[in-house]
Amino acid sequence: MELRQLRFFVAAAEELHFGRAAKRLHVSQPALSFEIRKFEEQLGVQLLARTNKNVALTNSGQVLLSEARNLLQQAAQAERLTVRSAQGLAGRLRVGFVNSMLYRGLSEAVKRFEADHPALEIVLTEMNTNEQVPALQRMQIDVGCAYWCDLPAGVVSVPIVTEPFVCCLPEHHRLASNKIIDLRKLSQDDFILFPRQVSPHYHDLIIALCVEAGFSPRIRHEVRLWQTVVTMVGRAMGIALVPQALRSSPDRGVVFRPMKSNRLVSDVLALKRGDQPEPGPALFIDYVKEAALRAAT
């Protein structure tokens, strides 16, 4: 059974007129009649009852019509998916992301993208920045959402958002009522920070900012995720400097305040391989940028 035979049969069954069916298929009527007869002989059943005045479906023909329509629809869908896959608009798009992207509209970007491109499924994997770069190189992910880092050849970045750091304090902290925090007044507080091996860039920036303010921060606790940082601050286990996006964290018991003379910013980037010709990764990055902009405002 061939798709061509099914198309011929469906046209004849729907039109119940060989002349109209032939015209619809852009073939001659004798050619259509020959193909239908050959198809019936191949199946060993009569599909269409013909008289000089009309054409009617047999019981076998009625059964086949429903199945034939489904098969042709599936074949057309398979063809579309194959073409879209070659264009990068079907299949799976594997995305690595840092935890704080959940506060920068990542989930909204995924929902909107999949609604607009239902043939392309987004698969998220949480990774820190240092894990995303080799994952891109090994083709384990197609897009990364990460913090600033030195990138090797073959990995390119697209800016998503740049935002300031803010001071995250327990709600009952002595400075919680201040509108702006002078970092020098936190010199005796316990800090919660990333281990340097997890995020050397931001670890060093925060240390340098404190040193410029005249003190070396007393790092009491080290954690791997920004969300854990905020949660621990809410438990009054210390204070922290965090990207502004964390203000939308659902954790209670914390306040976020801007810092005086703050030069510390968080640069969030989308990462992809430079040799990716398909448009899927670049298209998804556009959605992420738009969602991050809405989240920031």
Whether 286 has a pLDDT exceeding 90, the answer reads yes
pLDDT, tens digit, 9 for 90 and up, residues 134-184: 999 999 999 999 988 888 999 999 999 999 999 999 999 999 999 999 999
The domain limits of the chain are 3-86, 92-160+268-296, 162-266
Task: Quote the mean pLDDT of the chain.
Answer: 89
Q: How far, in Å, CA of 32 to CA of 263, rounded?
A: 77
**CATH fold match for the domains 3-86 and 92-160+268-296:** no
Closest by CA to 116, choosing from 237, 229, 284, is 284
CATH (residue range 92-160+268-296): 3.40.190.10
Return the higher-pLDDT residue of 35 and 233: 233
Average pLDDT estimate for 235-259:
92
Q: How far, in Å, CA of 282 to CA of 284, rounded?
A: 5
Its CATH class, for the domain covering 162-266, is alpha beta
Q: Is domain 3-86 annotated with CATH 1.10.10.10?
A: yes
Whether 5 has a pLDDT exceeding 80, the answer reads yes
pTM: 0.65
DSSP letters, 96-146, are: EE-GGGGGTTHHHHHHHHHHH-TTEEEEEEE--HHHHHHHHHTTS-SEEEE
